[in-house]
Amino acid sequence: MTTAMGTTFGAGFHAAPGKAVDASVYDRWTGRWSRLFIPAVLAAAAVGPKCRVLDVSTGTGEAARMALPLVGTEGLVVGADISPEMLRSACAGLYESAFLPVAADGQALPFGDASFDAVVCQLGLQFFPNPARGAGEFRRVLRKGGRVAICVISTPDRAPMWGNLADVLSGFLPELRDILFLSFALHDPNRLEAMLLGAGFGDVRVERTTRGDSFESFAEYWEPIEAGVGSMPQAFLRLTPADRHAVREEVRSRLSRFELNGKLHMSVEMLIGTGRA
């Protein structure tokens, strides 16, 4: 996608088209928070021995990596992602024969009906142009009795490490506001529940879950933003040096309330939606 101001986002928004993804940078920006919720997501999807698991929006493969030892040698984990750059990053870190990477649009999955025992989607559905269509595809490829587990970010104020940056950037790049806030597009638990019910899932539940972590310093928090992996960091890099400095200082000021003895202590709330096919 190319905006009127010339900012180009690749498929899935997180990786610039044609550029390799530095998995270590992505991990420091998103992965360090995402992985805190993956065990709960895999448990909600009832991932276990011999399971055939589809990890939609696999990204750098963090959820797939955690699922592999659960399914064992007789199971299978398929990692699907619309971004070729992200999928290559996942493949670089996953060599197990039970992992199968597939370049695919989550709204039009290239799998037959009832192909999987579990479907998980970790921080991906909110970026779909039509999330409800994606939920319908998740239902279609699940066998009867199989479970889905979807994790999405709550409201910007409950994810301060991302919400503050999105808000400050949107003041400098108002034409990108909708893209900058896509991370929080499914923050309403009622909407997520209705979406799963509408897709034909039963036993639907949406739970709020919070996890905390800390940065050694503001500099540690800020470093991956300068590297441009993720939709917000990509937008940040299109600013002039002077505007980048202004954004940095405004975000630093806003996050100062989380600072204690030089460290930034923050938490993030996410919604985990589950259902049975």
Domains along the sequence of the chain with CATH: 23-276 (3.40.50.150)
Beta bridge partners of 148: 119, 275
Give the chain's largest Cα–Cα span: 56
User: Residue 25: its pLDDT value, please?
Assistant: 83
- Specify the amino acid at residue 214: S
User: Residue 23: its pLDDT value, please?
Assistant: 72
8-state DSSP, 111? S
User: Among 269, 268, 150, which residue's Cα sits nearest to residue 199?
Assistant: 150
SS3 79: strand
Distance CA 86, CA 103 (A): 10
User: Residue 13: its pLDDT value, please?
Assistant: 52
Angle at 106 between CA 55 and CA 61, to 5 degrees: 30
Distance CA 269, CA 210 (A): 4
What pLDDT tens digit does each residue of the chain (277 aa) get?
333 334 565 554 555 555 666 777 888 899 999 999 999 999 999 999 999 999 999 988 999 999 999 999 999 999 999 888 788 888 777 766 678 999 999 999 999 999 999 999 999 999 999 999 999 999 999 999 999 999 999 999 999 999 999 999 999 999 999 999 999 999 999 999 999 999 999 999 999 999 999 999 999 999 999 988 788 998 999 999 999 999 999 999 999 999 999 999 999 999 999 999 9
Name, in order, each residue with C-beta under 8 angstroms of 132's C-beta and a sequence gap of 6 or more: 195, 198, 199
